[in-house]
Structure 1
Amino acid sequence: MASKKEGSIRHGGDLGEACRLFPQAPEPWIDLSTGINPIPYPWPALEASAFTRLPAKSDLASLEAAAARAYGAAPDHVVAAPGTQALIDLVPRLRPPGRVAVVGPTYAEHAASWTRAGHAVVAAADLSTEADVVVVVNPNNPDGRVVPARDLAAAAAGLAARGGWLVVDEAFADLEPVESLCGAPPPGCLVLRSFGKTYGLAGLRLGFAVAGEPLIGTVRRGIGPWAVSGPAIAIGRRALADGAWRREAAVARGRDAARLDALLEAAGGRVVGGTTLFRTADFADGPGLFARLGRAGIFVRRFEAAPARLRFGLPAGEAAWARLAEALGA
């Protein structure tokens, strides 16, 4: 949601803001303001060539093939990018200005990026709209709402019939029992997938677009050559090929999410949704709890449009769990 500074968007993970708000807070900070896996994939040692030479086309192709297998997509339907955010910024510039509906409330960068590109953007409660482009986050951030794949496919067909697009952001789908559109994206449908959230390696900056032709070709040309770094290619293709790790992570983080729900409910919260990687709850005094946690060195996500609502990422390790439980019970 937008902050008070006009034109800016408040994001999770901004420990600079946390330090400004709570300069006396104990360190180290526990950053629960993001939806990033707190237990990262064990990245391998890399050959020096990953840093010293430009990635070859075959390197990028092997990464996209690994992503295709992980997402159940055809290899020629996948394009790698330096993070999902780069795709969110790029896609609105790939078509002339028109009418865009963003199903929300949701991740604020979607509406902001389409607006910056000159489109007329409106908020929508559901998929039933006459816009040229519809954007939906599935599962949604921050409430975890899921739109069935059949409804998305029907919306995509209606949009494609009039030259429109359906953009489906599946950033949090990896660890969820959600039916993805990656396997057979309908015409005019573009799916976005995040790597860093699932694998706990957000600093690597890696994401993917999945679509059929001609849309995926338009995206590939828009990204251009050498967009993804050598280290990101090397680590990404290793991690994406490790299906066992991802299955184990889904089970372990699911247990963590249930544990977090119990803590929030014991503290008087009403859990309103979320995903395996974050939980969202309403509190009688959301601003007061945000401040109390901040003074304890725990940073969570707040929403100016819904002051009672706070979003919590998963703690990493028992020490962080203990600090959160203590702060919630204070």
Structure 2
Amino acid sequence: MSGFTWHGGRLAEAQALYGGEDWIDLSTGISPIVWPGVETVSVDWRALPEPDGLSALEEAAAAHFGVDPAFVCTLPGSEMGLRLVGRLLDLPGRWLVPSYRTHGEIFASGQPVRDGGEALDAKVALLLANPNNPDGRIIAPPLLRHWLQRLERAGGWLVVDEAYADVVPQCSLAGEVNDARRLVLLRSFGKFFGLAGVRLGFLVGPRAIVAQARRMMGEWPVSAAAIAFGTAAYRNREWMADAIMLLKDRAARLDGVLMGHGLEARGECPLFRLVEVEDGFALFDRLARAAILTRPFEENARWLRIGLPGDERAFERLDRALGHG
């Protein structure tokens, strides 16, 4: 069971353990609505990525985030950016919990905190996710701006993992990024566009930090495919707007299904919900026996995170499996 508690995925492991082939993977926070352009964008696999192509990607991403491209550095996934930030800032860390396990791994020293206010008057880097994982909590931007001001006065930094901010754009602090602020954001491509395998992300921060990150990433930080898909997808504003609305509708549908079985859904991120039950591992097991993979948690055996079903058939199967207990 320990493998399933580390992060989402591991579908092949679940199939080997429980049998069956027609599985529904609800263990991740990856959107089930896949950007359709992936089927039509052509990639030249024979040539190295061109600098102009990388610049075009960063311009498209920056326009979507609402920042100047000079504040954006392309990464092979946002987790790489988090690990870079830990080295670049070279400060003791404080990371808001519960959240990603990897948040505690990026600093040479530090400690978790339950309230960001505990870290505001020290020269530290405070790291949090907004929207958060696994509980979908959103910290309002005015409060984050207050925390940023307090950290800046103490010589610290605020680092916000905005991997899910595309689906709740109003929570982003991108508008605060400039050379005078001690603020770094990490953005993910794959979660919102349903293309986690592309491994594409971005560091957004002051130009001095971006320049250091670019030197560490080197000439070719991502593949030609990541550049091609990312550039085209970020330019597809109409699809993004439609996807946000559709994800909200499906999240409301998921809330209704869970409520119908006496489960109270927690979270404001449309891509997943967290439920608390008497035995999260037992519910995980029951759903797995119905070939539905979800995400249990070693640190809290009462929790189970359930991702967003991709279609009507998946909703119906989840509904039936929850009712057969």
Q: TM above 0.5, one fold?
A: yes
Q: Which residue of 1 aligns with 2:18?
A: 23
The separation in 1 between residues aligned to 2:309 and 2:73, in whole angstroms, is 32
Number of aligned positions between the proteins: 319
Q: Indicate if the aligned counterparts of 1:40 and 1:201 stay in contact, CA closer than 8 A.
A: yes
SS, match of residue 183 in structure 1: helix
Deviation at 1:12, TM superposition (A): 0.3
Q: Which residue of 1 aligns with 2:83?
A: 89
- Give the aligned partner of residue 310 of structure 2: 316
Contact 2:99 2:134 in 1 (8 A): yes
* 2:102 counterpart (109, 131, 139): 109
SS at match of 2:227: helix
- Structure 2 equivalent of residue 168 of structure 1: 160
Shift of 1:193: 0.8
What TM-score does the superposition give when structure 1 sets the normalisation length?
A: 0.91
Aligned match for 1:233, one of 227, 233, 243: 227
1:254/1:80 CA distance change after superposition, 3 Å: same
Tell me how far 1:9 sits from its aligned partner. 7.1
Conserved in 2, the CA contact under 8 Å of 1:290 and 1:302? yes
Is contact 2:5-2:296 (8 Å) kept?
no
SS where residue 286 of structure 2 aligns? helix
Deviations 1:133-152 (A, max 9, x none): 10010111111212222222
Measure the CA separation in 2 of the matches of 1:89 and 1:211.
Answer: 15
Question: 1:221 maps to which residue?
Answer: 215
* Contact kept in structure 1, 2:66 and 2:175, CA below 8 Å: yes
1:121 correspondence with 2:111 = yes
Contact 2:92 2:125 in 1 (8 A): yes
Q: For residues 117-144 of structure 1, give each alpha carbon's deviation from its aligned partner in whole angstroms, at most 9, with x where no partner exists.
A: x223333322331351100101111112
**Could you tell me how far 1:293 is from its partner in structure 2?**
0.2
In terms of mean alpha carbon deviation, does 200-209 or 218-227 score higher?
A: 218-227
Q: Which of residues 192, 200, 219 is equivalent to 1:198?
A: 192
Write out aligned runs for 1:1-330 (5 A): 10-20=6-16, 22-24=17-19, 26-42=20-36, 43-49=38-44, 51-96=45-90, 98-114=91-107, 118-129=108-119, 130=122, 132-176=124-168, 178-185=170-177, 187-330=181-324
Q: Are 1:103 and 1:127, in contact at CA under 8 Å, matched by a contact in 2?
A: no
Alpha-carbon distance, 1:179 to partner: 3.2
Gaps in structure 2 of 5+ consecutive residues: none
Q: Is the 2:89–2:125 Cα contact (8 Å) retained in structure 1? A: no
Matched residue type, 2:296: R
- Structure 1 residues 127 and 230, CA gap change in structure 2 (3 angstroms): farther
Asked if the contact 1:138–1:145 (Cα under 8 Å) also holds between the matched residues in 2, the reply is: yes
**How large is the Cα RMSD of the aligned pairs?**
2.0
Q: CA deviation at 1:175?
A: 1.3
Counterpart of 1:269 in 2: which secondary structure?
A: coil
- Moved segments of 4+, more than 6 Å: none
| Deviation for aligned residue 1:177 | 5.0
Q: Aligned partner of 2:264: which letter?
A: R
Alpha-carbon distance in structure 2 between the residues aligned to 1:131 and 1:107: 23
Question: Per residue, is there more helix in 1 or in 2?
Answer: 2
Give me the whole-angstrom Cα distance separating, in 1, the residues matched to 2:138 and 2:303: 19
Please say which of residues 149-158 and 80-89 is displaced more in the overlay.
Answer: 149-158
